[in-house]
Amino acid sequence: MRWKKVLFLILATLILASSFIYSYRVASKGAYQTYVGDEVWYVPAARNALHRLGISVHYYTHGSAGVNVIFRNWSDFNQNYYKVESMALSDYYVPTTNMSEYQKFPGIYILVPKKDEKSFVRAVEEKYGRYCYVVTGYRYPDKDNIQNYLNLEHPFLGKDLIMLGMMIEDRPIDWRLPGICAKFVIGVLVLYLTYRISKSYLAALIALGFVAYDPLLTVTSAAAMLDIYVALFVTVFMVFFVLNRRYLSGFTLGLAAATKLSGAFVYPLFFLTEIKRERSRGTSFKDVLFYVGITLSLAVLVVGYGAYLGHLTDLKYVYIGAALTAGFSVAFYFLGDGEGLNALKFIGSTFALPVVGFMLPNLVGVKLVGLSKWLNGYIGGWGWMFAPNKGPVIAPVWDWFIDANPFPFHYNPNLFAKTDPTLLIAMIPLVFALLYLHRRMKRYWRVFLSFWMIVLMFLVHAAYGYLRNGKLATQFSFYATPLVPLAAISVGAAAAVLIRWGAFSYTLLGYLLWIGRFFRIKRFVRYAEERLGPGFRSSTAGLPLDSSDVDVEVPVRGGEERD
């Protein structure tokens, strides 16, 4: 009925709008108008990247503009900092309360009158440019070498989006605005995907309700963290994965990996799905082995070259990858049963497009420091990811299901990266209903197994750290962020099939009948009686024992698979 669609759109709009407002209000709280959580790393890295790209950002407060004067070393600082401060005092009438010196690196933060910002910056660069440089914007956290930090250990896509917010203004709410928008987009995509899978308005609204007010999505969107962008691009990938668009799936999977390594954790399932696709199209098992061999050999070649540029001192992995690629290609040409075009399609979706999706956002990092140094920083960061557990806020993957040891972003007021145990634990019993759910919703398994693939990869991550160091690899509660949209879709769609909606329909009609009789509204009474039938009694004894007694039926499958 048309009214159901209209009601669905109204409710979805209200939920999405209230979710956006709620996240924005959390992000703009006065107590959080400073660095929160890991913003102390990502935001300065974004500011430094923009400065190196020649893009100035600005921070204004109470008629003043923020200016960071950063000296090239401590010797230049000791010889010249008082000259810069004297110029600010005498020429621009800056009160001493608007000036502060950093302790961990050679720099001064000055709030100059907004109208004098350009003049002051120009004067500092002209008089003292040999000893210092100027970065306008918000104050840096007082950390060692933070003025040069670029966070090369993580890919750049998340920081690229933080930069877009900073270009509005370099203040906390604008750092966080892209993350708040990312949560809104996640809500829209979850709504669409759940309806696409289940063909149920109610299921879509249930899934949307989970993500709209999820504590973890709210916290990671209300702080300039990378994990909300991992969740965003994993959800974007899931759209194309569910729609069976192999090339867009491969490309967007690369984008998810370009935000954080955990964005690639669903790749094994995608790779196996592409193998399944080839087999279902009649490709021989022998040819599939050739496709896989060529793809993995190319991966060895590319990763080997990256390692050579980064840490290793020889080209042996490059030679191994090249030899394997050539060997599998020649063997396929002479011994394969199919056409080379099919092999190119497989390699394109599983290797080439993910690499392109990964590299495009990282061109910023390559431009800033060069390919070799960028790779060196990224590969070097892997050592920390597999470092042993340490610290009181460690939360391995199994802790996420019970909200154990949430990561604190801020104290007094508290802002913790708490998970939703109801949502995550609900995924466990659904394992035992998967075959039934697959029979009713043929694309359901893609989302459901993607959730468990990410969980499995985090378990592998923890186990690898244990085997390597005798302690579990470090994991935090906010690493669970990309699991939330997948769990919401899975639980919402499953609800449309497993919950006996007839009980709700029957009960609501009974309420309508009672209201109609009480207020003497004949239209209500007539409408309810026509659907409830003559056997209805105003007691629970009249409830049906079987859902077939009511006219509520969940559609089975929808749409056809696409190549």
Note the pLDDT tens digit of each residue in 232-289.
Answer: 999 999 999 999 999 999 999 999 999 999 999 999 999 999 999 988 888 888 888 8
Q: Is 246 exposed, middle or buried (0-12, 13-18, 19+ CB in 10 A)?
A: buried
Cβ(258)–Cβ(217) under 8 Å? Answer: no
* Domains along the chain with CATH numbers: 53-160 (3.30.2130.10), 501-549 (no CATH)
CA distances from 511 to 194, 207, 353, 524, 527 (A): 29, 26, 55, 10, 12
Note the pLDDT tens digit of each residue in 149-204.
Answer: 999 999 999 999 999 999 999 999 999 999 999 999 999 999 999 999 999 998 99
Cβ(171)–Cβ(158) under 8 Å? Answer: no
Phi, psi of 296 (to 5 degrees): -65, -35
Task: Please determine, for residue 523, whether its predicted confidence score (pLDDT) is greater than 50.
Answer: yes
Phi, psi of 132 (to 5 degrees): -155, 170
Q: What tokens were used for 231?
A: 């969740």
328 pLDDT band, cuts 50/70/90, is: confident
Helix (H) / strand (E) element for 345: namely helix 340-347
SS3 of 455-486: HHHHHHHHHHHHHHHCCCECCCHHHHCCHHHH
Q: What is the pTM of this model?
A: 0.87
Residues whose CB is less than 8 angstroms from the CB of residue 248 and which lie 6 or more positions away in sequence, other chains included: 240
Q: What is the pLDDT of residue 211?
A: 96
CA distances from 48 to 112, 133, 134, 145 (A): 21, 12, 11, 11
Helix (H, G, I), strand (E, B) or coil at 136: strand
**pLDDT-wise least confident of 283-287, 380-384, 445-449:** 380-384
